[in-house]
């Protein structure tokens, strides 16, 4: 149901070294839990107000910004990634995108995406009579 789509991620990571910094990547886990999908993004140290979640047709985009601290004249060793994070997921048709929920706690963004009613497993009732029908019986006009 979910496809990972990050067409420019590798290019961004490659050029981050040339720019003298790195880009927050945000590790992701996806799993199905009964009638919903749950997606976890590791986005530690971000202000929840800087996280943007958007759905456009079947494309889910998660973007966030971790600004680099202002230079106060001290010598700084930077190892944590700063800059813009962006991740896109292509979503399948069987999801109820109108009821997608997002929460952020302890540095983890959690998205809950329920299955659409039409995509949920259902039992099909079989109807018919209990009397077997004879095959090949019938009157023929002579």
Every domain of the chain and the residues it spans:
2-66+83-119
By C-alpha distance, which of 23, 25, 32, 86 is closest to 54? 86
Q: Does domain 2-66+83-119 have CATH number 2.60.40.790?
A: yes
Pair of tokens at residue 111: 């998205």
What predicted TM-score, i.e. pTM, was given to this entire model?
Answer: 0.66
**Model pLDDT for residues 88-139, shown as the tens digit of each residue:** 999 888 899 999 999 999 999 999 999 887 777 788 899 987 776 667 665 5
**Model pLDDT for residues 18-35, shown as the tens digit of each residue:** 444 444 556 899 999 888
Pair of tokens at residue 19: 């720019």
Q: How distant, in Å, are the alpha carbons of 42, 78, 121, 134 from that of 48?
A: 12, 22, 35, 70
**79 pLDDT higher than 60:** yes
Task: Grade residue 51 by pLDDT with cuts at 50, 70 and 90.
Answer: very high
Q: For position 4, what pLDDT does the model report?
A: 55
**9 pLDDT higher than 70:** no
Top-confidence residue, 89 or 17: 89
């Amino acid at each position: 149901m979910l496809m990972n789509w990050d067409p420019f991620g590798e290019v961004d990571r490659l050029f981050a070294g040339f720019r003298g910094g790195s880009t927050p990547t945000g590790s992701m886990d996806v799993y199905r839990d009964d009638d919903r999908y749950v997606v976890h993004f590791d986005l530690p140290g971000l202000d929840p107000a800087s996280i943007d979640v958007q759905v456009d047709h079947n494309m889910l985009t998660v973007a966030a910004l971790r600004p680099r601290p202002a230079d106060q004249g001290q010598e700084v060793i930077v190892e944590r990634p700063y800059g813009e994070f962006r991740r896109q997921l292509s979503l399948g048709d069987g999801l109820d995108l109108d009821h997608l929920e997002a929460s952020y706690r302890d540095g983890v963004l959690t998205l809950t995406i329920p299955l659409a009613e039409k995509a949920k497993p259902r039992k099909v009732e079989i109807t018919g009579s209990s009397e077997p029908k004879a095959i090949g019986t019938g009157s023929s006009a002579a």
